[in-house]
Structure 1
Amino acid sequence: MIHPPPTATTEPERPWLRSRHLPALVIGATLGVFALGILAVTLHLRREIREDIAKREGEILHSVAMMLQAEEDRTLLDEPSVQLNVLLKTSRLKGVVAARLFDAQGRFVSAFPAYVSDGALAARDLAGLQQLQTIARPREFASHVGLSEQPGAEKVPFDLYEIIVPLHAQGDRKLLGIAQFILDGRGLATELRGIDRSLANQAVSVFLIGGAVMVIALRWAFGRLQRAQAQLARRSRSLLEANRELALASKTSAVGALAAHLLHELKSQLFGIQALLAGRRTSEADKAEPAWRTAADSAQRMQALIAQLLGVIRNEQGAANSYEVSLNELADLVTTQVMPLARACDVSFTAEVKSPGTVSSRAANLVGIILGHLAQNAIQATPRKKAVRLTLLGEPHGVRCEVRDEGRGFSEELRPLLFKPCLSTKEGGSGLGLALCKQLAGHLDAELELEQSTANGCVFSLTLPENLAGDVSAESDLPQSSDTESFAKPG
């Protein structure tokens, strides 16, 4: 029992992987993530820069307060009046809107100007101030720092900075008091807007340059991926095609084995029929010679056809060694096949080799079948006493074969349908002969066509390609085959 070869399996197709929009989607998503990363870094830098600027302002006020304290009596620095004097002097600096004074424990002492409300320090801020740390931070609303607008007074600026400075003696870590300053942030806001513009420009530049590099890299990567995918698809198709060919070869091998068995059985039966006809023709030669001779010729022709088919099967299965066959031998083979039919139809058949040439033995069997069938059709279509001629011509680029008859030709309507199966112009014909000949010619990469069709006859031509033709000059050196019915030598 012959088992078919295993079928090739492929992974499930993923249409979205082959979508032409996939590269654009991936590039867009990558650029989006890149932009979000740049935005996050920019916002982080912006926040750190604002904190550094606020600390800078705090350090400036702290240094000024320390300088003013140095001018006071060192023994009186813990007095609230002295600390208030330092506070008032410091508040004269440009940009100070309001100030408060707290003692070392964080209790409110005094404020300037008068409309500034009492305040309190947060426990977290007080803990840092006791470590002599300066606190600086922006405030969005005036109410957050206890400022209220007075009638007729100038409106409190929207941008405010709160700076809390620890008061202590130079070189002493003891906290003496706490000064809280509220600064007009309009100057700082202008500076920060300039910094924001610079950060935005740098972020856009980084995005454009980095994005361009990423787009180029991704397009290159997708190009390579698509080429690799196309190559993989081609190899997958080749694998599937090879798998189908293997399956077909397996089926063909099984059918060939069965066909060979049937042909051997038919050949054995024909030997018996041929022996019976030979004996009967000898005993009753004067009584029924024409009929028995026709039957014997038909049996001989069938036996020759079976032998030829067996030779083709052996060649296709690789049992026969390939060798060169001359065009003269090919003409003799066709003549042997069709001569009994020509005598029965009273038609003259001649085979002529106009120039020497050779074909391989593997091709010669199939060519013999094609030419034999064309010659039989020509003989059946030719009236009595007319002629059918087979011409073989070796050419530099192949071999050309012509079968010419003197029949009535084909009508214009039938010519395009000649090689279609199940269409016959003969009574009782199956319409498969020319279709099979066309398929056999295609198997050889040869061209079979109706070259001419008139009321005086038809010409069928079979042109073999160069790879099936041998060296023309070597024809005289070819060994002659002893089997005239087939070119397949027994294995």
Structure 2
Amino acid sequence: MGASSDPARPAALPFSYPPAPPSQWPLHVLFLAVCLLAGVHWLVPVTEVQKHNFLHHLSFIPVVIAGALFGWRSAGLLSLFAIAVHSPHLWKTWQRLPVPAMDNLVEMSIFGIAGVITGFLSERERGQRHKLERTKHELERVYGELRQNVERLTQAERLSAVGQLAAGLAHEIRNPLASIAGAAGILQRGHAPVEDQHDCLEIIDKESQRLNKLLSSFLDFARPRTPRFQRTDVHAVLDSVAVLASHTAGAGGVEFRRVIPGDLPDIECDPEQLKQVLLNLFINAVQASPRGGTIEVRAALLRDRVRITVRDQGSGIPPELRSRIFDPFYTTKESGNGLGLAVAAKIVEQHGGLLVAEGGPGSGAILRLDLPLDRTRPL
């Protein structure tokens, strides 16, 4: 039976702290070098003071290397060993030239102290480096766990969204199906007058069209087609959509007021999808506006985007509902399926833009659409 791993337990780190000491053979080489230098000292005549000074300075190198590689203890030990193996030569020099001998002894002591300091600093640096490595691996482990948690949350959010879509779709389908089932039941019994049979057929036809429209809107949200980007005149698109929406606005006694500069630059977008988004925004504003109200449509060029603002004179949007109006099947109107703004938000997201709702209760709703001038740099 295999050993089970606990995902919450920290992963084993690829090193131990404090770090394992390095191989000892370089230290043996350094001791041997000190012995060789002591031997050369013994062979060189005592009167060759400059040569002895040079050899003493060479003795400093093994001590510093020992400190850097093996720490201050090894440097101190090698320094004492160097003084010991050089002591016969120092004694011989002392008998004939006591001043140079004293200088050499002091220099060797200073070199030993320098090696110990080097070793101390080297050990401290290695300790800090390994602490940083340990922290790095710990951060990598925590980052991996966070990424897994984010993936789980994303999957849970996806499943929750699917559940909400299914519940909303089931709710929207239930009423048309009930009407169709009732009309079909009347026709099936065969006792209804001709006028009632005609009404039942009209109900079935009307509700079937309603279901078809609902499913088409749902597919537009669930599987939006890939945008066909091309250079598009925003001013022309706004004009054409305003003409389409003006028929609905005129029937409701609502007036459109457009403030659109003539020098708006072209942007890369799918013109048909942009028309769909704007038509959804305009129709939503018309439905929210009171009879005789005015809908203001503004367009402006900002630093890296074109901003289109649609403002109505309706009851506005409470702050707690602003984040929900783009959810599928969410609507405060008696008619409609609540997919219009959800589809619009999905299309805007595909274009790298932003769609935001503003405006508090009593001040009218403001829907702000931002589209990037450069689609390779989404907002």
Report the TM-score, using the length of structure 2 for normalisation: 0.45
Greater share of residues in helix: 2
Greater share of residues in strand: 1
Report the TM-score, using the length of structure 1 for normalisation: 0.38
